[in-house]
Chain A
Amino acid sequence: GAVVSQHPSRVICKSGTSVKIECRSLDFQATTMFWYRQFPKQSLMLMATSNEGSKATYEQGVEKDKFLINHASLTLSTLTVTSAHPEDSSFYICSANGFGTRVNEQFFGPGTRLTVL
């Protein structure tokens, strides 16, 4: 149990376009989902915390108008990178908090590799 999926796994787009990444909890409901970004040879950096039915909370330095987060249901959160530029190329990973006795664990998706040309 506690499987998180992401779609797409890889995307290549032109500069200036917008890209949407989906994060789904497949076999459980997640009250909170998180979005991370990882540049090559670096660690994961938390971008934002997403709660179902409310506005996301962004970490310092992350532009909320550029990285739009929608958490419309307990099993789906989306991250839209608007007007993407080459510096937005990165590995984007979502996670969801667990449930019951595992509520403080986070279950991660497989990641989405974004390349902006």
Chain B
Amino acid sequence: DAKTTQPTSMDCAEGRAANLPCNHSTISGNEYVYWYRQIHSQGPQYIIHGLKNNETNEMASLIITEDRKSSTLILPHATLRDTAVYYCIVRVASRGGADGLTFGKGTHLIIQP
């Protein structure tokens, strides 16, 4: 799986949009971008994933650049409960869920009141 680079930490004011960047310059054509988050002392939670089109769900939006070398996760209205470590993971998604995930260090997002 391709390597990803994320900032170690970020702050965001409550109620504002949180934009978390991820670089994945070596991504292959068949690799998807996945985002998970881990709130302290809990198991990770799936957020969103995409291949090349922008995606949106009830939790977040994912913006992938046209060259697919980077992406941004957007939490439109951050709340204190969004404080967590956010992991950007690039992986092939054609093996029917047979592969485990490789977690990097992630971004520690801190939402400030």
**Chain A residues at the B interface, C-beta cutoff of 8 Å:** 4, 6, 31-32, 34, 36, 43-46, 49, 59, 91, 93, 95, 97-98, 103-111, 113
Contact = CB atoms under 8 A, between A and B. Distances in A.
Given A31-B97, A32-B98, A43 B104 contact: yes
Contacts of A108: 43-45
For the complex, would chain B's binding face be called helix, strand, loop or mixed by DSSP majority? loop
Contacts of B49: 104-105
Interface string B8-23: 0000000000000000
13 contacts: A43-B104, A44-B101, A49-B100, A59-B100, A93-B44, A95-B43, A98-B97, A103-B97, A104-B93, A104-B97, A105-B34, A105-B46, A106-B46
Interface size bucket, B side?
20 to 34
A107 B46 contact: yes
